Amino acid sequence: MSDNSIIKLENVSICFKSYNDNIKSLKEFVTKTIKREIKSNVFWALQDVSFEINKGDVIGIMGRNGAGKSTLLKIISGIIKPTKGKVTVKGNIVPMLELGSGFDFDLTGRENIFLNGAILGYSEEFLNSKFDEIVEFSELGDFINAPIRNYSSGMMMRLAFSIATIVKPDIMIVDEILSVGDEAFQKKSFARMRELMSGGTTVLMVSHSTEQIRSMCNKAVWLDNKKVKMIGTAEEVCDAYKL
C-alpha cells in the first residue's frame, strides 16, 4: 500500500448462502440442520475485486443492478467481511449507506441526533456544539422536538444526511443518497458533498447517472457480473459504459 493510498482491496470476494427449504420455525431449522437435510445455494456477490484508492480521490462506482455495487461499499465500510481477500483502510469512515437506519422511531429528532451521532462515533460534546447547525441544515424547525415516527421519509433522510455530513471525515461512502428531499434540499446536498470533496475527503459513491459521475468524480470503477470490468478516469469509464 503506497503512502498516498487510503483504501486497498486485494482479491476481494464474498459469497452468500440461500436456502430453498420452506422452514417455518427455528426448531425445524435446527432439526434439519442436525440431520443435514437443508439444501443451500452459494451465491457469489463479488469475485476477485482488486483496486487502490488514493487520498482525495472521488470515485464513482458504476454497474447494472445486481453488479455488486452496494455490497462493495458495505465491505469497504466494514459492515460485512469478505469471504476471501483483504481490505486495508487508513482513516475514519462515514458510511451513508442506509440513512436513518440507526434512528429510534419513539424518540424525537433532537434525541435521535445524539443517538445517531453516537453510532457514527461523534461525542456528546461535539454534537452539542453542532446541534443548531444540524437542525438548521435539515430545515426541520420545531419538528426537531417531535417523535420521528411522525416524520415523512423525506424529513428523516434530511435529518440523517445533516448528521452524517456535519464533520469532514477521511473517507465518505455514499450509496445513491444524493436525491435526499425536494429539489432545493438536493441542491444543498450537492453543495455539502462538493464542500467535503474540496476539503480533501476521499469519497466513494454509487450512482446510475453517468452525468453525475462525470461532474463529481475524478475516477470510476465499473462493476459487471460481480467483477471489475474497468477502472480509470471518470471520463474514460463513463464513455465506455455508455457504448
Q: Is the pLDDT of residue 102 over 80?
A: no
What is the rounded average pLDDT of the residues 36-61? 86
Contact 226, 45 (CB under 8 A): yes
Q: Which of 114, 118, 101, 107 is nearest to 148 (CA)?
A: 107
Going by the DSSP 8-state scheme, the letter that residue 46 receives in this structure is: E
Three cell numbers, residue 83 = 469471504
Is the Cα torsion angle 149, 152, 153, 156 positive or negative in sign?
negative
* pLDDT reported for residue 119: 81
Q: Is the pLDDT of residue 152 over 60?
A: yes
Q: Is the pLDDT of residue 177 over 60?
A: no
pTM recorded for the entire structure: 0.76
Residue showing cell 417523535: 147
Highest-confidence range of 74-78, 99-103, 172-176, 229-233, by mean pLDDT? 229-233
Is 243 a residue whose pLDDT tops 90? no
pLDDT of residue 227: 94
Q: Give pLDDT, residue 28.
A: 66
**Interval 190-225: pLDDT, tens:** 888 888 888 888 999 998 889 889 988 999 999 998
CA quadruple 39, 44, 48, 50: dihedral, nearest 10: -140
Q: How many CB atoms lie within 10 A of CB 227?
A: 17
Q: Where is pLDDT greater, at 180 or 165?
A: 165
Cell of 13: 470476494
Burial 157-193 (b: 16+ CB within 10 A, else e): bbbbbbbbbbbebbbbbbbebbebbeeebeebbeebb
Higher pLDDT, 114 or 27: 114
Place of cell 452459494: 42
Mean pLDDT value across the chain: 86
Percent of the chain with pLDDT over 70: 86
